[in-house]
Every structure is written in structure tokens, then in C-alpha cells.
Chain A
């Protein structure tokens, strides 16, 4: 499903020239759960951003179902992101001026899922993530754990083939984080979605099928 060949990425920032990724190659099969593990600054987020087409690598190729996402036009990239990707950020990144239900509605609208189908899917997600009764609540009125649950619900709302999660449990306590990832893994199983998680949480790493350990932007180990 995902094939990554010799991906490299460099930044220029106030700290000078930074090599974020060097010669990264691996593949992820459909339906797998995959961890990108490593310490802070190891390149996990950059790699995840490249996989989700949120930024372009400087070199190498990323094939999604055989199609190189690096050579896509901005329009093709946007359609790829809205249709095939569900992204969970380190923080919930919900739109603060939309209610819980309206935040869940966004990916459905983007994928032309309207009317009863949309309403049904939102109800399903609310029930699944234990958010029933919070439909009209604003993100600002919810706890961090609840917001992250909404973020997960939003990421899988349109049943994407690939879910990318960047340190999704870092702002949660270990029990809540663990339970949430277990829930996501079971939902991915049901939907047949592939999950790629960037984390340094050992418990979370243990939950996934495959792992890639990064250090200073290079692959340290793969299991």
C-alpha cells in the first residue's frame, strides 16, 4: 500500500541547516498497524507529514497504491488527503468555532457524504467514541482526552484507507491514551484501514504490528 524509497528532507531554520530525514525506505502493507518510533527530533513528524502529503520530501519517492504522491498536483494532493487520509495531530486541532458534530461533519462534507448518510455516520462515531450527548458541545468545553477522541473520530469519519497519527496520546494520561489506541486499532481492523503512528510511548509501540525506529533522521532498526 505504502512504499517509501530513499526519502530525504532538509530544513533551514534559525538553528541553521537541519537534516530531518536521510535515505528512508520502508513499506507498509494494507491493514497493518505501523509505528514510527524514536526520540523527539528523530524525524517522526516530518516523515509522517511526508506520508500524508502535508509537505514534500526533497528527494526520494512515496508510492501510495503505486501512485507517487510527491508528483501529484496540489489539486490531486487535496483529493488524496480528503479521500484516503485521516490525520490525527499531536494536539486535537479541532476547529474551535464548530461543535463536536460539526467537526465530525467536515470530512464527510469534503467527501460528498450528505443528508441521512452523514447524520447516521456522525451518530455512529459519537456512539463509538463515547461522545453521545456532546454533539452540540464546543471543543473549548471539553477535556483534552475528549477532544483527542473527537480528533480520532474526525480522522476515521470518512473511512480512509490510511490513518496517520502524530504522537496522538502525548497529551493524555497513559490509561486514556492506551484505551484510545486500542479503540482505533479495533476500528481500523473493522474498516480495513492502515494505521501509521509516530510515537515514543513504549506501550503504544507494543500495540502495533510493525515498527520502524528512527534516530537523527535515519532508520535505526525495523521490526
Chain B
């Protein structure tokens, strides 16, 4: 029998048994659509954790031990959005007889506000303005020094040696221990020791691979240390890997459940039409053509339904990719969501391909047993049994 004729028979069967086709298709469409959305949501969750973690302060790449006076504009290579230069030195900070050691960072407040969101984490007062003799300190240090916004703090290298007196302009709290302990900020223009070492926070354009930029930086400044976020935030890297594995397990479980459903539904669909295959066989259709007819029917149905499901999944992702899904109530105390609990689902090949491919695979797998049954049984047996 000609392949074209087999395809025609399959299509006619699906179109004219449209109720069954619609029900079976709906199941596949829903399953594929839901799985595409789930996978996109998982990727979006990881994106949110990375975005929150790097956007708060550190950037995608952190550079330390950069020699004072180095030209950090060299670091503005292809793919880099912003390079934030920070001068740092460890000082003593005191009020009356209470002393605290802090790592003071001299920053450009305008640039910092453009690229990071640490300023948004103020719990009292406001963020720094360029050139003002003010300090922005963490809540824990402020509490130990018993100082509030508007209060004065002295700064020096050792007790009694006052290098600068700052007004506390703002107090922040991030929920991240590295940032909430022993760190303070002042405008770079009023930094007491301008010849201190420099560090940089580098923000990349979306999609730029961090490793490539880090390698380039190591060539440009061999004496400095550059690390990308997976290196300096191994906990986040591990969490994202763990999230991927967990999501993969969930997806596999969902796939298995959905696939069993798809397989059973197709099996029922095929068994219901068993008599017709018996008739065709009695008319002299070759066993291979019988199997081909069965497989073509299921292939057409699953491919069509998977395609619609894929479009439905993409549409659902598109619906939320701009506005995002606000999970702030579930993430407000989580350090990886310290800036925002909004998740923007994102599509990748990994979220687009597996669902339709598996739906088609399991649909076709469901055709194997009935095909073997039809091939092996005599037409008389098939017609007698149904």
C-alpha cells in the first residue's frame, strides 16, 4: 500500500473520529503545555536567585587586589555593562568608648544606585550622595555602636587617631551575613585613604558568558584576582544545581505519570479500533502496513497535539514573562530572594524540547503492543475477539 494512502487513511480516521481525537489531543496538549510552563518556571526561579544575588552588590564578576591607581576602564570589555570601582580599607569605627572594626568601601553613589540595589535595603535614613561626609552602615554595626541616622561616628586606624568623622546617613539590612556584618560605605571622594587597594564589581549584559570575561580580565590584570559568581558564591551555584536536579526529578515523575496516561489512552483508542484493523487485514493489508497505519495515526495525533501544547506552553510563559509571578510572601526571608520575589518564567531549549518529544515517544510506544497483536493474530481471531 502506498505511504500516501496510509497517511490519508490515518488523517481521515482522526478527522472523522473527531470527538476521540479532540479528547486525546486535549490530554496531550494540556500535559505538554503544563510541562513547558513548569520547566520555564524552574529556569525562571534559578534566574531570580542569580539576579537577586548578583544584583544586590557583587555583580557577575568580582575583582579584588587591584593595585591602587590601576585604570579600571580597561575592564570595560565587550559584553560588560558596568564596572563599579570600589576602594576598600579596614578601619576602626567608634562612638564614645564602643569600637567596631569595619571594611569601609569608597563608592561612587550614582553608579552604585544605577547597577546595584543595596541602597534599596535601607531600614533607616537614605543612601549616600556623591561627595558628602556621610557613612552608610549595616544595622548590626549601628546597633553595636548604639548610633542612629544623623548620629556621628569617628573613624581611624587605631583608637584615638581620628581620620574622619562621619554622619550616619543610612542604615541597611540585607539578610545576607557577608553584607550585614562589618561593612560600611562612604562616597569615594571622602574616603580617608585614597591609595588603598581597589576592588571592582562587574555587571555583564544578558547572555554574556562570565568565564570568557574573567579570562580576558586575567590577561589584562594578571596581579589582580577575578572570580565569577559561581566561584565566589559556590552556595548559590550548588543551590541552582540542586534545583535543576530536583526539578528534573519532578519533571521525570510528572512525565512518567502523564506518559502512562497518554499510553493508556492510546491503547484504549487502538483497542477500540481493533476490529477495523481485522477487516483491513482480511482485505489483504500487509502486516507491516497495518503497523504503519497504527503508528501513523498516533504520530499524527501526538505531533499535532504536542505542537499545540508547545504553543499553549509558550503562550502561558509569554503571559507571565513580562509581569512575572510574585512569590514575595514565600521568599521574603530567603537570602536568594532578598531584592525581589518575582519570578519571570523563561524558555530555553531544555524547557521546550523534552515535553513534546516524550509525548510523541510515549504515544508511539503505546502503539507497539497493539501493532504486534494485530500483526501476530489472524484476521479471524481479531474479528472474533472484538
Contacts and interface: CB of A to CB of B under 8 A. Distances in A.
Nearest to A11: B384
Nearest to A52: B282
Nearest to B276: A95
A54 B378 contact: yes
B20 to A, nearest CB: 10
Given A102-B12, A109-B2, A78 B287 contact: yes
List 10 A-B pairs, minimum CB-CB distance, nearest first.
Answer: A82-B284, A81-B284, A55-B380, A97-B16, A54-B380, A49-B380, A54-B379, A55-B378, A78-B284, A78-B286
A93 B378 contact: no
Given A74-B287, A78-B287, A97-B17, A87 B282 contact: yes
Interface of B: 1-2, 5, 9, 12-13, 16-17, 275-276, 279-287, 378-381, 383
Contacts of B283: 81-82, 87, 106-107, 110
Given A95-B276, A97-B13, A102-B12, A85 B284 contact: yes
Q: Among the interface residues B16, B284, B379, which one has the most CB atoms of the partner chain A within 10 A? A: B284
A28 interface: no
Given A54-B378, A55-B381, A97-B12, A110 B282 contact: no
Interface string A79-92: 11111010101000
A82 B285 contact: yes
A80 B282 CA distance: 10
B371 to A, nearest CB: 14
B282 A81 contact: yes
A95 B279 contact: yes
A198 to B, nearest CB: 13
Given A49-B380, A95-B276, A110 B284 contact: yes
29 contacts: A52-B282, A54-B282, A54-B379, A54-B380, A55-B379, A55-B380, A74-B286, A78-B285, A81-B282, A81-B284, A82-B284, A82-B285, A83-B284, A87-B282, A93-B275, A95-B276, A95-B279, A95-B280, A97-B12, A97-B13, A98-B9, A98-B12, A98-B16, A106-B280, A106-B283, A109-B2, A110-B1, A110-B284, A110-B285
A74 B378 CA distance: 10
A79 B12 contact: no
Contacts of B287: 74-75, 78
A56 interface: yes
A222 B301 CA distance: 53
Contacts of B5: 109
Contacts of A110: 1, 283-285
A216 to B, nearest CB: 19
Nearest to A94: B279
Nearest to B286: A78
Interface in A58-117: 74-75, 78-83, 85, 87, 89, 93, 95-98, 102, 106-107, 109-110
